[in-house]
Each structure stands twice: as structure tokens, then as C-alpha cells.
Amino acid sequence: MTAVSPEAAIADARERIDVLDDRIIGLVQERMAVSAVVQQTRIASGGRRVNLSREMEILGRYRDALGKPGTSLAMTLLELCRGRV
């Protein structure tokens, strides 16, 4: 068994992070597309573009899973998906 140098371990971990980031970006883009469908459908049926009670559910979900930084992450996602309110 050969020991892995710290530099090699870091390089490997960074490659894994890059792959994860690519997946996260793809998922955010997919979420944006799905959110656009929801907004268009809601507006076409006479509703509002934004559903605040739904957004509060999302904020709570992220906060419960990730703590206070989860709320910031959820706010960023909501802004990306629906624009600024």
C-alpha cells in the first residue's frame, strides 16, 4: 500500500469538488427551467408570479437541513429562479 501525498489528496478532492459543482450548476439550471414553467402556468391561470407561502416552505426546508446558511442559499436559489421581488 502506497501513501498518498497531501498534494495528491488535495488535487483528488478538488477534482471531486469540481464534478460536484458541475452537477449542482446543472441542477440549479434545471430548477430554474421548472420554476419558469410554474410561474408561466400560474400567471396564465390568473395567479401571481410569486407564491410567498411556498417560498416560506422552501426557506424552512433549507434552514432545517443546513442551518442559518441554508436560508441564504435558498434565498439565492429563489432569486435565480423567480428574479428579484
**Model confidence pLDDT, tens digit, residues 29-49:** 999 999 999 999 999 999 998
* Per-residue model confidence (pLDDT) at position 62: 98
Per-residue pLDDT at 84: 76
Question: What is the structure's pLDDT at 54?
Answer: 96
User: In sequence order, what DSSP letters do the residues of the chain get, joined into one string?
Assistant: -PPPPHHHHHHHHHHHHHHHHHHHHHHHHHHHHHHHHHHHHHHHTT--S--HHHHHHHHHHHHHHH-HHHHHHHHHHHHHHH---
Q: What integer pLDDT is reported at residue 83 of this predicted model?
A: 82
**Which residues of the chain, if any, have pLDDT below 50?**
none
